[in-house]
Amino acid sequence: MTGFASLPPVPAAEPARDELEVLQEIHGILAGERFALLTGAGLSTDSGIPDYRGPGAAPRAPMTYQEFIGAPDNRRRYWARNHIGWSHLRRADPNDGHAAVARLEHRGLLTGLITQNVDRLHEDAGSVNVVDLHGRFDQVVCLACHRRYSRTLLAGVLTELNPGFLERALAAGVIEMAPDADATVEDEDLIESFVVAHCPACGGTLKPDFVYFGENVPKDRVERSYAMVDEAGALLVAGSSLTVMSGLRFARHAAKHGKPVVIINRGQTRGDELATVKLDAGVSESLRWLADELPPL
Ligand SMILES: [Zn+2]
């Protein structure tokens, strides 16, 4: 290992000295192992996508699947806010952290990547073996016929149905953005006036292709994720507070099978008690350090 001081100068922040000590401990656990990586919203904050629950994030209750299905008014609100949020999310670029994760994979150090993010920034950065546990923001699905459509194509339809909507919403001011493309805006009347699009094939209800609160993660994704953990010598969790069971269960699974669980996250997580080592630090710079320092297998 070459040591931190020998790294070439880069514009991003570097780990602080005490963080470096913990990173070296993590290095000791992961070196010589193929490990599974689980990422969450904390990885994308450096790309300008706010976290749900990170420090400074306002508490927010996302719409549940039952609310979405239960009332046309809820769906109107949801799609209006999603249309604004989507226009922001699609402009986001992967950051240093995503690039480091892709590098870990290309160097053969990962059994796979499980992400709770729907923003597709891992794929944009070059990660290949990825489970999008909670779905993807760039697709929509018809709840009746299960056809999937590109969100970009739907954007054209929504813009035709709602001329001037995006411009007015952005002019009114976006109050808050969330990582699932939900956006809170000032102008409630504008939200109420939104016209929703239906499935062009069957007229069914369209839903963004991600897993809502109150909805189960599809079985094949869960099984692929468990397989990544089973194949691995350790589990690294980066940028997730593990608040929801859909992610926490993989940390529990690894711990139950005697595999080290390493957590890198700003702030507390629900998996801290399972962690062999926990680093409370910036995710991008920590992952970059590991991608630079871990030896090839
Ligand atoms: Zn349909």
Domain of residue 295, CATH code: 3.40.50.1220
Tell me the chain's radius of gyration from C-alpha atoms.
20
Domain of residue 74, CATH code: 3.30.1600
State the average pLDDT over residues 79-89: 88
State the average pLDDT over residues 109-135: 97
Do 165 and 231 share a structural domain? Answer: no
155 in any annotated domain: yes
Token couple for 23: 């990173």
Do 75 and 32 share a structural domain? Answer: no
Do 100 and 26 share a structural domain? Answer: yes
Please give the residue range of the domain that contains residue 270: 19-44+95-134+217-297
pLDDT in tens, 182-241: 887 777 788 889 999 999 999 999 999 989 888 999 999 999 999 999 999 999 999 999
Do 289 and 247 share a structural domain? Answer: yes
Residues 79 and 89: their CA atoms lie apart, in Å, by 14
- The residue with greater pLDDT, 63 or 123, is 123
Do 236 and 106 share a structural domain? Answer: yes
Per 3-state DSSP, what percentage of the chain is helix, strand, and coil (rounded to 5)? 40, 20, 40
Please indicate whether residue 106 is annotated as part of the active site. no
Residues 83 and 152: their CA atoms lie apart, in Å, by 10
Distance 284 CA to ligand 1 centre (A): 40
pLDDT band at 57 (very low <50, low <70, confident <90, very high): low
Query: 210, 234, 259: which is the final residue of a domain?
Result: 210
State the average pLDDT over residues 152-160: 94
Q: How many domains does the chain have?
A: 2
Distance 140 CA to ligand 1 centre (A): 11
Tell the burial category of 195 from Cβ atoms under 10 Å away from its Cβ (0-12, 13-18, 19+): middle
- Sheet with 261-264, strands from edge to edge, namely 130-132, 110-115, 35-39, 234-238, 261-264, 277-279
- pTM score, whole prediction: 0.89
129 in any annotated domain: yes
Distance 204 CA to ligand 1 centre (A): 5
pLDDT in tens, 35-45: 999 999 999 99
Identify the active-site residue in 83, 98, 122, 134: 134
- The residue with greater pLDDT, 267 or 57, is 267
Distance 196 CA to ligand 1 centre (A): 14
Residues lining ion ligand 1 (Cβ < 5 A) are 142, 144-145, 199, 201-202, 204
Query: 152, 185, 210: which is the final residue of a domain?
Result: 210
Distance 149 CA to ligand 1 centre (A): 10
Distance 207 CA to ligand 1 centre (A): 11
Q: How many residues would you count in the chain?
A: 297
